[in-house]
C-alpha cells in the first residue's frame, strides 16, 4: 500500500489531499513520526524521525495522531480482497503482503493481469492505491513493488532478472542494512552487479551465513515459499514519555503497566513466554535492552513485572533518566498452569546507539 496510514486519513478527509501529512506524536512534545505522505517526504520527513525535527523541516505539515484500530480494520478489508484472488497470502505488515498466484491465474491468464485486477479492486472498493511487483520469487517481487511508487506496477520476467537487479544499489537487497552496506562498500561493492562478481567464499568469510544469502540474492535466487501462517515470535509494548522518568518508583510503575499489557496478550493467545526483555531509551536516544530467559514459560503479569523491574536495575536508568520503556515476551510455549521462577542472575546485555 502507498503511504498507508496517511492515505487512509487523506481518503476520508479530502481537505488533506495534496498537503504534507505526518502521522505521529505531537511536534510540541516527544512524539515520533510513524508515517508520512509523499508530500511530506519531499521535505525529508521519514518514519522514526522525532516529530520536533519534522516540523522544523516543514512548518505547514499536518500532524495526526495514529489510529491503529482504524488501520487494522482497513487492512483486514484489503487482505480480504487479496484472498479473493489467491488463498496463498503472506502478510508482511498491515500494509504489505506476498501473494503466490502461480496456480490461480484464471480467469485473468497471467500474473500481470492478476496484479492489474488487484490494483483496480483495491482502488474501487477502498479508495486507496497499491503498488505491485510481479516477479518469479519473493525477493524480486519485493524490490519491484518499491520500484515505481506510488500507484505503480513493475513486472520482472525471469529472463530479465539480472538486467533489473544489476544497476540497483546493494542496499536494495533484503537484509542489507547500513552496517552491511558499509562493509560492502569497504570491499568496493556498490551495486548488485558488483556483488554478483564476488566469490561465495569471500562473502561467507566476511559475512558468515548471511554471505551465502547475499550470493544467492545477487543472482535473483530466492526459494522461500509464500507462507499463509505467520508465526509470531514476540509480544511487546513500549511507551515514549512526554517528560523523562527520573525515579525508579515512576519507572517501576510504568513497567508494571507494560507487564500487564504483555500478560494480557499472552493470555489471549494462550501462550507463555520464557524470555522477558526490557527496552530502555535515555534522553540522548541511546537505546539498550536487558533480557532474561526462564526455565519455564510464564504469562503472569506479576512475574513479568518483577523480572522487568530487576532487569531495569542492571542499567543506569536511575542516573540517566528515561524517555522510553518497553517490555517484551518471547520464546513462546503453549500456556499452562503458572510455574515457579528463579531470581535474576545474569541478564543478556545488548546496547546500540541510535
DSSP string, 145-197: HTTT-SS-EEE--GGGHHHHHTTSBGGGSTT--HHHHHHHHHTT--BHHHHHT
- Catalytic residue, chosen from 96, 181, 238, 256, is 96
Whole-number Å distance between alpha carbons of 297 and 329: 10
Please give the Cα distance from 258 to 237 (Å, whole number). 6
CA distance 25 to 63: 8
Distance of alpha carbon 220 from alpha carbon 160, whole angstroms? 10
| Cα–Cα distance, 132 to 154 (Å, whole number) | 6
Which residues is 154 bridged to in the sheet?
133
Q: Rounded to an integer, what distance in angstroms lies between the CA atom of residue 331 and that of residue 333?
A: 7
**Residues facing 93 on adjacent strands:** 96
**Residue 185 among the catalytic residues:** no
Q: In 3-state terms, what secondary structure has residue 221?
A: coil
Q: Please tell me whether residue 342 adopts helix, strand or coil conformation.
A: coil
Which residues form the catalytic set? 96
Amino acid at each position: 500500500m502507498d503511504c498507508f496510514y496517511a492515505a487512509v486519513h487523506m481518503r476520508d478527509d479530502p481537505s488533506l489531499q495534496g498537503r504534507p501529512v505526518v502521522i505521529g506524536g505531537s511536534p510540541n512534545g516527544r512524539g515520533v513520526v510513524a508515517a508520512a505522505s509523499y508530500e511530506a517526504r519531499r521535505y525529508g520527513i521519514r518514519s522514526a524521525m522525532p516529530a520536533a525535527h519534522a516540523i522544523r523541516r516543514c512548518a505547514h505539515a499536518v500532524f495526526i495522531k495514529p489510529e491503529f484500530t482504524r488501520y487494522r480494520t482497513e487492512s483486514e478489508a484489503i487482505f480480504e480482497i487479496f484472498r479473493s484472488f489467491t488463498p496463498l497470502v503472506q502478510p508482511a505488515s498491515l500494509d504489505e503482503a506476498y501473494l503466490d498466484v502461480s496456480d490461480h491465474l484464471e480467469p485473468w491468464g497471467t500474473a500481470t493481469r492478476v496484479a492489474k485486477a488487484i490494483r483496480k479492486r483495491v482502488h474501487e472498493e477502498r479508495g486507496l492505491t497499491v503498488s505491485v511487483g510481479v516477479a518469479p520469487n519473493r525477493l524480486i517481487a519485493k524490490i519491484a513493488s518499491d520500484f515505481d511508487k506510488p500507484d505503480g506496477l513493475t513486472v520482472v520476467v525471469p529472463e530479465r532478472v539480472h538486467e533489473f537487479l544489476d544497476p540497483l544499489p546493494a542496499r536494495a537487497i533484503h537484509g542489507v542494512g547500513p552496517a552491511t552496506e558499509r562493509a560492502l562498500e569497504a570491499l568496493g561493492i556498490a551495486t548488485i552487479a558488483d556483488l554478483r562478481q564476488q566469490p561465495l567464499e569471500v562473502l561467507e568469510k566476511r559475512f558468515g551465513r548471511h554471505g551465502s544469502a547475499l550470493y544467492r540474492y545477487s543472482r535473483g535466487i530466492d526459494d522461500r515459499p509464500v507462507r499463509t501462517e505467520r508465526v509470531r515470535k514476540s509480544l511487546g509494548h513500549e511507551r515514549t514519555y512526554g517528560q523523562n522518568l527520573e525515579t525508579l518508583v515512576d519507572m517501576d510503575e510504568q513497567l508494571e503497566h507494560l507487564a500487564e499489557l504483555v500478560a494480557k496478550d499472552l493470555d489471549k493467545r494462550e501462550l507463555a513466554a520464557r524470555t522477558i526483555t526490557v527496552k530502555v531509551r535515555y534522553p540522548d536516544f541511546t537505546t539498550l535492552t536487558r533480557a532474561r530467559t526462564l526455565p519455564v514459560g510464564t504469562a503472569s503479569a506479576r512475574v513479568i513485572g518483577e523480572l522487568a523491574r530487576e532487569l531495569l536495575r542492571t542499567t543506569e536508568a536511575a542516573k540517566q533518566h528515561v524517555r522510553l520503556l518497553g517490555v517484551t515476551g518471547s520464546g513462546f510455549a503453549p500456556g499452562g498452569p503458572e510455574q515457579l521462577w528463579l531470581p535474576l542472575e545474569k541478564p543478556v546485555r545488548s546496547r546500540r546507539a541510535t
